[in-house]
Structure 1
């Protein structure tokens, strides 16, 4: 039951994120006098709608996105008064059909309220407002969690000790095989709760730096720990073992091995910590989006029955399922579950921001790039005293937009099938 509730709650959160995105476009378009005829969440057949003044607000059947419809997205042809240039080329048909569809919505009384007529900086604001709304929502959620609840940070205190040495290449890393030697930490007498204050004669207050020192050491090393009110010196004989690399867990390397895991605590972040953390999230999100084409073989393999990696791309269905799984976790508190769901929702909004800012049509970033190019062209023409080249004709890029749309649809269907037949799980 909790899984279903979690799926519904997270799905509603995703729909609200989409509506929030489109609200940014809607408000800024109206602010600059552009006529908006539709504000819709979803695609396909209209399930519910209500018209207020000049705009129809509604919900459509397929809840995988949303849109607003502004009049005059494309400028008219330069040679419009001389008649239409006939051409049977498929790309020319696409261009002219898109231009005609946009022109049909323009009535004489609204001829001055078309999108293409606005200055480039205004069009940039309108198109960037949607992704920025997602960024604002993600920042607010992340900031609230980081400043109010905290961020998990590893400490130099010991959480658990490995009983034996098990190589990273072993099939079952959770058990000690017969004859496996005890880990250096176990042999040295480490206990959970010990706080490491010195390693090989040097003080360490950060797990990151201590971990690097451990991995770069071998042989007998004195380690000073605080155990209750006592300060003890333990002697561990570090060995060289193959372990996952810090920069790429999928790769292994031979490093010094002690055999313990650090404890972690929740640390509330200040404004600087929030900025650094969210900046890291944005960078990681951009990296994952760039890697999306590389994940196609993994998705196909997952559909075929192979194990699906935890960082595999997921769609609305997969993300909602993860949300349901999070809410049903009995081993963690209700508060921690809600925090995790909010983190997931913020991460989705961050992905929507980064994805939509890509400078390709039909994404918002494609329209932004077109307006920027128009500004550059007009500025250059003015500088060299040439005639104004006029608005940039984004209609000419519609064949590319259609191609990108087909790729997005195909990728989305691939992810959807993977989410249904072999979903990403946290358990």
Structure 2
């Protein structure tokens, strides 16, 4: 049963990624057609074509390697010019790059036949930018939709006002133990008669709807008597509880202990009554999904800005056997393994569905950020080319001259280097995900 659940989780993620890629390409396709560009192909995947169908002037289909997708637009670049450096002395490397540029120009020229007025490079700058940003923006919108379904439809795991546990005593965070001893003072809640299953109604006259609301008041009120109203068996009861002053570890937004420059865990003094809350999936307001998206966007962008360093660290962890950073980069293989692990855990199906949806939303955010990197062949690289062309046109107008379109085929050698680097980094991540995977336990 666990193996079957693992497979189901992997399949669900693969299907979700396929839909994400398809919608990414739709984000390019729709504005391209609206602006009159001839689109010859809309393909999901690369390599040999498995299935295709022509509708109008566009061939839609699936290819053998589901590692991305593309649309083929007429005239991505201007036609080949007559200026050539044929006959000039050149080394072997320069000759190879020159051949690559000529091949790219020849392939581009084929798309210009019969559609000279429906080509991409002749569009205004803003239209080209809209077309190229359409794909990444579609991934961002999909992430917002998924996080909204997750937060408002399924709910977010939240500590409720129903108490799950009541501590017997107060143990300082630096005591180095978890069991009570005779010298430990009794926990204020236990001393006041609080029991597991009680529901917090108000603290110090303030109604509380979440455990976090109650905790904030209690932690800010050490050694101050508080009037706490609880509900037990349908009846309300008012208790007077004085939070004890105790030391606890400082945690970040993810609940992890904050470590100082000296390597020691940072601590703070807070009020404490010794209760733990039950957790449940609680539906959030509809705007929370968007907030979650942009919070995750910042974290993913931070990883992307350090991608080469993060991949290097992943490679070091792979060869040394060290545990990987759970917030580090991963490949599609790693994402599939995580989805399988989430689906196979012993938890309610709602929790497992929420975990897979959160993973899929995060991958869409990664696709959004990754495709904005200003390097060809990524969408961000095409945006830079369009902006550079716009600057050239503007400068030419100021000088009463005619600007020639930017010929991005000259950047094919640079594009090849970028592709090789991306394939290399992807290969390292795949190996790491196979032999040193990130674990959710």
**What is the TM-score with the length of structure 1 in the denominator?**
0.82
Contact 1:282 1:350 in 2 (8 A): yes
Map Cα deviations across residues 338-366 of structure 1 (whole Å, 9 max, x no partner): 23322322221122112212322221011
2:82 pairs with 1:81: yes
Partner of 2:48: 46
Partner of 1:311: 327
CA drift at 1:244: 3.3
Contact 1:197 1:203 in 2 (8 A): yes
- For 2:174 and 2:14, the matched residues in 1 are separated by 38
CA drift at 1:48: 0.6
User: What are the within-5 Å matches in structure 2 for residues 18-417 of structure 1?
Assistant: 18-43=21-46, 45-46=47-48, 48-52=50-54, 54-76=57-79, 80-84=81-85, 86=88, 88=90, 90=93, 94=97, 97-107=100-110, 108-155=113-160, 158-161=163-166, 165=171, 167=173, 176=179, 181=184, 184=187, 188=191, 190-192=194-196, 193-195=198-200, 197-198=202-203, 211=215, 222=226, 224-228=228-232, 229-246=236-253, 249-251=256-258, 252-256=265-269, 258=272, 259-303=274-318, 304-332=320-348, 334-382=349-397, 384-417=398-431
Contact 2:226 2:241 in 1 (8 A): yes
Q: 1:187 to 1:226 in 2, by over 3 A?
A: closer
CA drift at 1:336: 3.4
The 3-state SS of whatever aligns with 2:114 is helix
Partner of 2:261: none
Q: 1:210 to 1:240 in 2, by over 3 A?
A: same
- For 1:399 and 1:128, the matched residues in 2 are separated by 24
- For 2:208 and 2:350, the matched residues in 1 are separated by 33
CA drift at 1:296: 3.0
176-185 or 352-361: bigger deviation: 176-185
Q: 1:392 to 1:8 in 2, by over 3 A?
A: same
- For 2:376 and 2:9, the matched residues in 1 are separated by 34
Map Cα deviations across residues 250-286 of structure 1 (whole Å, 9 max, x no partner): 5231112535444445443444434333332333332
Contact 1:166 1:176 in 2 (8 A): no
Q: 1:188 to 1:178 in 2, by over 3 A?
A: closer
Q: 1:26 to 1:402 in 2, by over 3 A?
A: same
Contact 2:375 2:415 in 1 (8 A): yes
Number of residue-to-residue matches in the alignment: 418
Q: 1:9 to 1:246 in 2, by over 3 A?
A: closer
Q: 1:224 to 1:301 in 2, by over 3 A?
A: farther
CA drift at 1:318: 1.4
CA drift at 1:367: 0.8
CA drift at 1:316: 1.1
278-287 or 187-196: bigger deviation: 187-196
- For 1:87 and 1:250, the matched residues in 2 are separated by 63
Structure 1 stretches lacking a partner, 5+ long: none
Contact 2:8 2:340 in 1 (8 A): yes
Q: 1:155 to 1:124 in 2, by over 3 A?
A: same
Contact 1:238 1:256 in 2 (8 A): yes
CA drift at 1:177: 8.8
- For 1:103 and 1:55, the matched residues in 2 are separated by 21
Q: 1:287 to 1:412 in 2, by over 3 A?
A: same
- For 1:181 and 1:405, the matched residues in 2 are separated by 62
The 3-state SS of whatever aligns with 2:405 is coil
2:24 pairs with 1:17: no
Q: What is the aligned-residue RMSD (CA, Å)?
A: 3.5
Q: 1:168 to 1:276 in 2, by over 3 A?
A: farther
- For 1:394 and 1:185, the matched residues in 2 are separated by 71
Contact 2:166 2:190 in 1 (8 A): no
Q: 1:26 to 1:91 in 2, by over 3 A?
A: farther
161-170 or 363-372: bigger deviation: 161-170
Contact 2:142 2:364 in 1 (8 A): yes
CA drift at 1:387: 1.3
Structure 2 stretches lacking a partner, 5+ long: 259-264
CA drift at 1:87: 6.3
